[in-house]
Structures are given as C-alpha cells and as structure tokens.
Amino acid sequence: MDQKRILTIQDISCVGQCSLTVALPILSAMGIETAVLPSAVLSTHTGGFKGYTFRDLTEDLPAIKEHWKKEGIKFGAVYTGYVTAKQLQYILDIFNEVTTEDAKLIVDPVMGDHGKLYAGFDQDFVESMKNFCAKADVILPNITECAFMLGEEFHVTGHTMEYVEHVIAGLRKIGAKNIVMTGVEMKEGEQGVAIYNAETDKISICSRPRIPGVYHGTGDIFSSTFSGAYFLGKSLEESARIAVDYTVAAIKTTEGDSDHWYGVRFEKALPELIKMIQ
C-alpha cells in the first residue's frame, strides 16, 4: 500500500474556520493525501462563541489505531493540534505503531494565545504538553505557549534576539528539537516567526509587515501549511516562509471585515498557496 500520507489529529470545530476544517483543505490543496483523527467535535471553536457543545473522542483513539494496524495502514507524518491531556499517550502509541520508519512528528502545542490559556486548559496540561514536545521532530508554539512552557511571563512585543535565544534555549532544555515560534515581533510594525534548526544549530527569522487586528485560527493555518510543505520535503526554513506568506495572504482576505470576527477567509487564498508550493 502507498503509505505517503499525513495524519492530522485535532478537533472538528463545526463552525469557526480552525483546526481540522482548516488543516484538511490546506493539506489537500497542497496535493497531500490527508487522514484525519478528530480529537473532539465542538459546535464552534471556544474563542468567542458561548454555549458550544464538546464531544470528547479520547476513548475512540485506541480502537481506531487497532483497526489501522489490522489494515496495514501507515502514515508518513503525524501533525497534531488541539488535543486533550489523556490523548497525548494515545497519540504517541499511534506514532509508534502506525507510521513509516522515517515518519516525522510535528506538534503544534495548541493551548493558548494572547497571554492566556484557552478555556479548559490548565498548568497540568502545560506540563503534559512539555513532555510531548520532547518527542516531536518539530514544534510550532506561539509566543504565549512558549511563555507557559517556560513558566514565564508573556511579552506582547519587544521580542529582541536575546529574548528569542532565551526562549529557544528554554524549549531545548525541555527536549524540543526543531522549533518554529510564531507571533514574534522583533521590529515595530513587523510580525513573524523564529526558526531554530537543530541540525545546523542556527536561528533564523522570517517576518512581514504586521496587519493590525486580531485574527482567529491563523495559528492553525500557519501550522497546517508548514506541515504540508515540510512533508513535501522542503527545508524547515522554506516551509516556515511558505507558511508565513500563506497566512498573510489568508489574513488579507479578511482585513477590516469586522463581521467575520471568528476566523479568516483562507479559502479565497488557496489558489495562491497552490502557486507557492509549485
């Protein structure tokens, strides 16, 4: 069986343009066969809607893995997003038992943004996620998630090179290998990512002019695009650059559209993504 497929594990927020409803179309547009494992099903995401439903699918994970094993199904990479603490061990079992030998584990440690943890996440989860990140080939935390994993205060801006180096050193101490930190603002009016390449032991920065406003779900757009480009064999730095450029293109589709507060119209920018990876 052709095993060149990626597995992404995160929730389905039925409405809200985040997690699986973003990852699947992005990876598909990049020409990648994508298998999905929903960690939970929510009526909407938790970032601004009230009274959402939440169906936890944790106990389905082991049986799903057993079925894939029986069928001889394997994955060339696993990319994880919004998951629960108990699922982390099940996900490691999946990674150990149903992936090809050279498979990569790409972890977006989804748990917070803008200096706060998302609803339902606590310090215990942060500790579990730190252990999980140590098993990953690449981690994709935003600056809030970095601060929580280091047990430090969150800085909105003023991310000097010394600060970036300090955070990367802290994450490496936890056991992280390759790191792409998002939401880095080193220069006034710019925003981007800091990339630590474990092979070359070098840090590089990729930034673009900052688009004012708060745009929900852009972390998932970034991580999905990064995972796709990396799975296609592009370098860490090139994958991060493509992901930055597509995220910016996706934000531009929704710039100034206050009616569309819950996500960005990334679908409109998919033709640009297809061109970017050619």
Q: Please report, as ranges, the residues that interact with ligand PXL according to CB under 6 A.
A: 11, 13, 18-19, 42, 45-47, 82, 110, 118, 217, 219-220
Give the 3-state secondary structure of residue 23: helix
- CB-based contacts of 230, cutoff 8 Å, min separation 6: 77, 104, 106, 138, 236, 239
Nearer to ligand PXL, 80 or 128 (CB): 80
Helices marked H in 188-235: 218-231
* Minimum CB–partner distance for residue 101 and ligand PXL (Å): 31
- Would the CA dihedral through 9, 72, 97, 90 be positive or negative? positive
For residue 169, give Cα distances in angstroms to 206, 236, 240.
19, 18, 20
- Is 67 or 114 the residue whose CB approaches ligand PXL more closely? 114
SS3 call for 234: coil
Minimal distance, residue 139 CB to ligand PXL, in Å: 15
Q: How far is the CB of 249 from ligand PXL (least distance, A)?
A: 18
**220 versus 242: smaller Cβ distance to ligand PXL:** 220
Nearest CA among 110, 104, 120 for reference residue 230: 104
Coil, strand or helix at 180: strand
Question: Closer CB to ligand PXL, residue 76 or residue 217?
Answer: 217
Output 103 or 193, the one with its CB closest to ligand PXL: 193
- Smallest separation, CB 10 to ligand PXL (Å): 7
Contact 263, 236 (CB under 8 A): no
134 Cβ neighbours under 8 A, 6+ residues apart: 174, 175, 176
Report the half-sphere exposure of 168 (CA within 13 A, side-chain side).
26
Amino acid residing at 233: G
Residue 110 beta carbon to ligand PXL: minimum distance, rounded to whole angstroms = 5
CB of 72 to ligand PXL, least distance (A): 31
For the chain, how long is the longest CA-to-CA vector? 54
